[in-house]
């Protein structure tokens, strides 16, 4: 029998094959978030426009900035 650990659940290849529970991710267009941010919109304005939380917007922007650097 295969024993799946929490670490295995974080690996994307296994996460696709095995459901580890938790809340499903929100579908958000990351490019649209980034374009609105670059256009000078605040995180609150972007969240309201796209119908997602400020935290989701913040996470998308943070990950994009990290990828660029």
Domain 6-68 is of which CATH architecture?
Orthogonal Bundle (1.10)
CA–CA gap between residue 57 and residue 61 (Å, rounded):
6
CA–CA gap between residue 28 and residue 33 (Å, rounded):
8
CA–CA gap between residue 29 and residue 60 (Å, rounded):
9
Q: What is the pTM of this model?
A: 0.65
**Contact between 29 and 50 (Cβ < 8 Å):** yes
Position with higher pLDDT, 4 vs 54? 54
Average pLDDT over residues 28-32: 95
Average pLDDT over residues 22-48: 94
The pLDDT value recorded for residue 6 is: 57
């Amino acid at each position: 029998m295969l024993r799946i650990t929490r670490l295995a659940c974080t690996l994307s290849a296994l996460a696709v094959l095995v459901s580890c529970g938790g809340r499903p991710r929100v579908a958000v267009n990351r490019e649209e978030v980034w374009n609105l941010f670059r256009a000078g919109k605040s995180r609150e304005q972007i969240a309201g426009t796209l119908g997602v939380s400020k935290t989701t917007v913040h996470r998308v922007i943070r990950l994009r900035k990290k990828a660029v650097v």
